[in-house]
Chain A
Amino acid sequence: MVSVRKLASVLSKELMYQGYTASRISGLRPMNIERAVKMSRINKIILSVLMGFYVGLMGAIPYALKRPSVSLIETLTGSFFIIFSSLLNVTFSLQQIDNVRSLLVTLPIEPRLIRLISMLSLFMMMDTPIYVSIAVSVLLSIIMGGIPYPLLGTLQGVSLGVILAAGFILIAEKASGAIRGFSRITAVIPIMIAVIILGYAININPSQLNPILSLMPVTSGLFINGLNTAFYLTIIYTVAFIIAAYLMLQRVGNEILEYTVQFQVVKASGFKGFKIRNPLMALIRVDLIQSFRSRMAGIWAIPVSYWVVIVFTVVTGGVRLSPALLLTYVIELSAIMAFIPYTLYLSELRGAIAFRLLPITPLRNLASKLLVTLIAYYVAMMPISVLILVYKLPINLQVPVVLAFGLPMAAAGAMANLFELSMREGSASSILIMILYALVIMIIEGLPTAALIITHMMIGGYVIPSFIMFLISMVEFLIMLVVLTRLSKRH
């Protein structure tokens, strides 16, 4: 008799390893297998700590502000954010795990059990973070007493994270051409919305909201005042989300692990000869193709959605545009743009070994990423530049708009080093790189930003503080270049 749980547990360890090293898609082999195996499991612990911390902190703040029901929204968006992004990230690395698929087919197990094992193994990749967040939310609910808002929020957030991530994965696997491309780009929107809600939810005053929201999923919890309709609805929604998450996880498990025969698309016609380009342009072109054809494509939607939010709130009069606010937008957007090189480098993971067999130096590679980031940065900054003119703000505000490019530039240098180090080790954990990169960005972007704010407060104006900010980011970039040049000498 097959022990479903045991097999699923073994399988989940293999999936975690594959997800961590991404070796199936990169073609590289970790230099230290034992360490890679260990790190693939530590990854889960890091995620658990992060999630427990998020749920605990974000769930407790509303109680301190005497808005306990908001705790539901905070824990919901916090746990949703981590589960959704991690699940998408993990499955990105799980493409081409034919070894697992083939193994399952050769085992004497009924298809029904294979489906169960697939679902369980996928769940086991995320189980500890989920258990930790639920445990923290239960503890917080007990300590705070009354309606268990943190628990309800966490259960809903985790379930919704699974449902939506599963939805995007299924579309990406099943749908054809345009829909698949659209789903890749829009996959990042739920993350954006979650981050925005996470920031703004603390200001929500349930008594000022439209009562119709008391009947809606997610928001119904805000209206719980004892055992009323909203309470029962929230319970019903929570249970419904959990069931839906279970069913979706089952479908995704099948999709990733079930052995399917792929048919080849043969297009004999349409060959009009080859086109050879300048090496840098060729590199940029392939970077863009790879990023748009991967699940990382969603990053490109972030700056667009960001300025849609800015323009919408400013134009509709929801926000009064001041120089200080505009400067905040510039800094935030340049921080967001730091994720463009991150995306471009991670897209290169697919077939990384092919890149290593070509005369591409890490410096030339960085140059192509910088050029794309530069163009994307100024395109993304254009609406802000226009807002300065339209709203007749001081024209010298254009200086930080132009010079804040130094921030993503320094960040790109840091990412180039992280990527090079990761490749030298022969493994690349997208989650670990993401966490490390987030930490590095905090420092690399934090220093010039702090310099900008401090000098602006000390001497006023925008021109000199912007130049100081630019100067510091250039120093950071140069340091990154020196490190990269040293790493470039392969041995």
Chain B
Amino acid sequence: MLKVEKLVVKYGEKVAVKGISFTVNNGEVYCLLGPNGAGKTSTIKAILGLVKYEGSINILNLGPPSPAIMNHVGVVMETPAVLEALTVKEFLEFLGSIRGIFNAKRVEALLEAFELKDYINTPIAALSAGNRQKVAIVAALMHEPRLLLLDEPFNFLDVKSVRILKELMQRHVENGGSILFSTHIMEVAERVCSRIGIINGGILITEGTPGKIKEEANAGTLEDAFLKAIHADEEIRSILEGL
């Protein structure tokens, strides 16, 4: 479980996140939806302790972000958090050694699933963006964490890998794990997420199940509901008329 209360993140004068609160329960995928610069990545970075924040964060009832908690968390960042000077093998060995958790069978199965076995001895710097993202995904899943923080995890992935990741996310929550997930892709959010929080300008505008959000906005699709929530539907119409 993840509990965030009155979270504020500032970059100098700019306030990126303005006091948002939400909870991600066990067995649920909570999706943060928002336009560019809405504060989604800043929220995830605060949960990981990568940026200074105000407010309260409680990860898995273990407390605020700290190195000790990281063994229970799997993370895919917007930009793959990998050590590029290392080969795929060296990097995964390093993670396993530091965490003290390494299930070789699971790691090999994940490498197989994401078609990385052929690149095992290749420096990560020499991999394509898609393969680098796959390495980051394997790194996030290999220690079977209880909480997954996924910031645009489908970036650069091919269709097959997207499907595999979606299935793995489903299995994770079925086994009682929880996921905080940020994306721009409405179709994915609608299909994968148990609950959605729409964030704009650093403020949580609304939250609920995809069905509830559509119903409240009186919209047929999540995309329409989202655009209404951030008051972009009228704006888009007038922009398109001007084009």
A binding-site residues for B, Cβ under 8 Å: 25, 27-35, 96, 262, 264-268, 270-271, 273-279, 281-283, 285-286, 289-290, 293-294, 350-351, 353-354, 356-361, 424, 426, 490-491
Contacts and interface: CB of A to CB of B under 8 A. Distances in A.
A264 B83 contact: no
B65 A490 contact: yes
B93 A275 contact: yes
B102 A274 contact: yes
Nearest to A275: B93
Interface stretch (B73-81, B155-163, B215-223, B229-237): B73-81
Nearest to A23: B79
A34 B120 contact: no
A274 B89 contact: yes
Contact of A264 (B12, B71, B89, B126): B126
Contacts of B86: 286, 289-290
B130 to A, nearest CB: 11
A267 B122 CA distance: 7
Nearest to B97: A282
A358 B95 contact: yes
Interface stretch (B27-35, B43-51, B165-173, B206-214): B43-51
Given A274-B107, A356-B50, A350 B126 contact: no
A74 B20 CA distance: 60
Given A33-B12, A34-B13, A274-B89, A358 B67 contact: yes
Given A276-B93, A351-B83, A358-B99, A28 B70 contact: no
B12 A276 contact: no
Contacts of B81: 27, 351, 353-354, 357
Contacts of A265: 122-123, 126
Nearest to B68: A359
A349 to B, nearest CB: 11
Given A274-B96, A358-B67, A490-B65, A264 B49 contact: no
Interface in B98-134: 98-100, 102, 104, 107, 117-123, 126-128
A262 B122 CA distance: 13
A30 B42 CA distance: 12
B64 interface: yes
Q: Which of A34, A265, A267, A491 gathers the greatest number of chain B CB atoms within 10 Å?
A: A491
Q: Interface extent on B, as a size class?
A: 35 or more
B190 interface: no
B70 A264 contact: no
Contacts of B139: 354
A31 B52 contact: yes
Interface in B1-55: 11-14, 48-53
Given A268-B118, A359-B67, A281 B85 contact: no
Contacts of B126: 262, 264-265
Nearest to B9: A31
A289 B52 contact: no
B117 A271 contact: yes
23 contacts: A31-B52, A33-B12, A96-B84, A266-B118, A266-B119, A267-B122, A268-B117, A271-B117, A274-B92, A274-B104, A274-B107, A276-B93, A276-B97, A277-B93, A279-B97, A281-B97, A282-B94, A350-B84, A359-B69, A359-B99, A361-B67, A426-B51, A490-B49
B67 A278 contact: no
Contacts of A96: 84
A282 B97 CA distance: 6
A29 B45 CA distance: 10
B100 A274 contact: no
Nearest to B121: A267
A25 B83 CA distance: 9
Given A32-B12, A350-B85, A283 B98 contact: yes
A31 B11 contact: yes
Contacts of B97: 276-279, 281-282
Nearest to A424: B52
Contacts of A285: 94
Given A278-B97, A281-B97, A491-B52, 8 more contacts: A30-B11, A33-B11, A267-B122, A268-B120, A274-B104, A357-B70, A424-B52, A490-B49
